[in-house]
Structure formats: C-alpha cells, structure tokens
Homo-oligomer: A and B are copies of this chain.
Amino acid sequence: MRKLSVIFFAFILIPLASVAQQALSGNTDIISPEIKDDNTVIFRFLAPNATEVKISGDWMPVQAWTHTSEVMKKGEKGLWTYTTGKLPSELYGYYFLADELRCSDPNNVYQIRDVATVTNVFIISNGKAGLYNVNDVPHGTVARRWYQSPGNELVRRMTIYTPPGYETGNTKYPVLYLLHGMGGDEEAWMALGRASQILDNLIAQGIALPMIVVMPNGNVSQEAAPGESVTGFIKPIMQLPNTMDGKMEETFIDIVRFIDSNYRTRDNKAGRAIAGLSMGGFHALHISRYYPNTFDYIGLFSAAISPDAKVHSKIYSDIDATLAKQKSNGYKLYWIGIGKSDFLYKQVQEYKLKMDSLKMLYEYRESEGGHTWVNWRMYLSEFVPELFR
C-alpha cells in the first residue's frame, strides 16, 4: 500500500498537462488579463524575442473598420505589459500583435468565435455587463437539439434555453425565438450574445418573466454550426446559400411546430416573440409579417430591412399587404433598435417611415455605436423585460 501511495504522490505533483503530453504554454504563473477593482485592466504577454508588441482591444477607437492598437511596454525577461484606463462595464475582446503577428493571450482560455475569427474576451462586470456574468442565481438548462425540417429536407440543430423550474413544474411557458446575424449560427447568441446569462439574471431579478428561448440556425442550407455537422471542421464563411432568399422565413413553421410539440409552450400569438440581430432582424421582420397572426412581440436589432432586388420569392412579393395584415391582426410590441453609426441606420429610418405610413406602432431605441455585439446584448437586455406582460 505504501508503495502505491508514493507512486500516487508523483501523480499529484506532476501537472497532468505535462504528463498528458499536452502543450504547456498556458501553464505559467502569468495572470492576464488582471481586472483591478477600479476597472483598469493589466495585460501581460511573454514574448522575449519580439521587437515590438501591441495590443488591440474593443475599448480602443475604431479606424477603417478596425480597432486601433497601442504599444505594450517590455519588462524583465521579455514580459510585455499594458494597463488600460478605467473601462466601462462591458464584455471586451482583444488580441496581441507581436511584430505585427496576431496572437491570442495564452494566459486567457476564454475565447469566443465570431464567424471565422477567435478572440480573447473578458468582462468588466460591475455595471450593466453584470447581466452577462454567471451570477449566483437559478440557472436555466441549455440544450443543443436536432429537429426535422421538412421544408429544408434536413435534420438541423438548434439551441434551446429552458428557464429555471421548467423541468419540475407543469407550467406552460411563452417562447422567444432569437435569431443570429450573417455569418452566425445557433451558437452565436450563446457565445458573444450571452443570452443564457442575460435570461438567468433578468428572470432572477424579476425583471423578465420566465420564458423558453429558441435559437435556431438561420442559414437553412446548413445543418448546424461549423464543426457541428457532417461538413466537419470547415472554415466558417460569411454568407451561405439560402440565407436571405425567403427560405428561412418559409420554413420557419417547422421550427415553431417542433417547439410547440416538444415543449410545454403557450402555443398562441400571445405566447410568442421573435427577435433577431442584423440578418436575424431581417428574418424576424419578414417571418412575423409572413405569418401575420403568430407573434405578439417583434424585435429588430440593427436589422437589415429590404430584400435584395434580385431575389424573387413569394415571401417578399407582398410586403405592404402582409404588414397591413399583421397590423389588423394586432400585436403587442414592435421594438426597433439601431445604433447611430450603424451602416443600416438609414434603412431602419426608412422602415420607420413605412411603418408610420401604415400607422403601425413601434417602440424605437436609438443607441450610440454601430453594428456590434455591445448593442445586441444591450438590446436583448432591454427587449426581454417587455415580453409576455
């Protein structure tokens, strides 16, 4: 027995990461990022051979579509450091540039993919981004589940959030259908969108009602997010076939039917909301009017509005008439959010004029900034409390 214990001690003392012959780089004492109580953040990056190391982060100004960068300071043994000013509460992305080579932070395992780019993230949580944290509140269940879409002749994957208490009660819950943007998929709202954290926190605070949140994949030619289907570990691309040609709208009924037949839902208009960002806002707009008696709550977050003129689909052939139908059927909330510097700002203003001309009521939210997850997380946090009242 003693002999075994000695061997076992070796097991305890040797870090398994090396024993398991896995890479060692993260296995250091370096802490990065280090978030201080005053909301300044220290970054540390070991690069002894680099001549110059810069950092680029979401809190820096934007020039020519990208954030600027700043030079880090070289210290002992090639440890480069950089300290920010006090940052507003938010989820931020950042990366290093070692002699212009983009590098992730090896001391921060938290990275989120956005389309084809993986970026380190951190949260300054003492403020509005506290909603994006996992807090000490009851947590919903998040399931990745496959459904049959007869309209697409595919079995497809979706992400489903059921609120705390769903599994143990008999209550029927309302459903928010939450749609991603171009280049996104059924993971997008869970990743940079922080949807499950936002819902957990708003429900716990009594600010939102418990609801099911369904996050389908809006690229209907795609079975699932990159890496999660038979196509394997492909490089994600921005636009797939059949994303904005009417097919998503036409086959959305497959998703609603699946949810209503597999979950305890309030399966009527009063129990359904639909919202989306960018392309997902486009989908929410057109789905809600194409099925004009299906959703009492509609949310357009930085939405694209008008179909491509080259697309000929019955879905887009009768926009004004279906909007009028949607109006006459009635709805409880039509929520439109857009950032002042969003490249879709003008489209959204023109859509507001159209709604005005149709005497359709809406709630309008104009924020700072542009076409970013900063806005989409905020819009979700503001939209959800208004639902199902």
Contacts and interface: CB of A to CB of B under 8 A. Distances in A.
Interface of A: 1-5, 7-12, 14-27, 31, 47-50, 56, 58, 62, 65-67, 93, 95, 98-104, 106-111, 113-119, 121-123, 125, 133-136, 138-139, 141-146, 155, 157, 167, 181-183, 224, 226-230, 232-233, 235-236, 238-239, 244, 262, 278, 304-309, 343-344, 346-347, 350, 370-373
A19 B343 contact: yes
B101 A98 contact: yes
A24 B97 CA distance: 13
Contacts of A31: 235
A22 B138 CA distance: 32
A79 to B, nearest CB: 13
Given A23-B102, A50-B101, A109-B116, A182 B16 contact: yes
Contacts of A66: 18, 21, 23-24
B235 A135 contact: no
A139 to B, nearest CB: 5
13 contacts: A4-B305, A15-B238, A16-B278, A17-B238, A19-B343, A21-B370, A26-B115, A49-B101, A110-B233, A134-B224, A134-B232, A138-B146, A139-B146
Contact of A239 (B12, B100, B227): B12
A309 B5 contact: yes
Nearest to A182: B16
Contact of A347 (B7, B114, B123, B182): B7
B95 A304 contact: no
B113 A102 contact: no
Nearest to A7: B347
Contact of A104 (B104, B114, B142): B104
A2, A20, A26, A123: residue with the most chain B Cβ atoms closer than 10 Å? A20
Given A8-B304, A25-B102, A138-B155, 18 more contacts: A4-B306, A7-B346, A8-B306, A9-B308, A12-B239, A12-B244, A14-B343, A21-B65, A21-B371, A23-B56, A23-B66, A49-B99, A104-B118, A109-B116, A109-B235, A110-B227, A111-B111, A141-B146
A67 to B, nearest CB: 7
B8 A308 contact: yes
Contacts of A227: 109-110, 134
Given A16-B182, A232-B123, A307 B102 contact: no
A16 B100 contact: no
Contacts of A47: 101
Contact of A111 (B21, B62, B118, B304): B118
B16 A238 contact: yes
Contacts of A143: 141-144
A233 B122 contact: yes
A113 B119 contact: no
B304 A11 contact: yes
Q: Closest 5 A-B residue pairs measured CB to CB?
A: A26-B116, A4-B306, A26-B117, A5-B309, A143-B143
Contacts of A122: 233
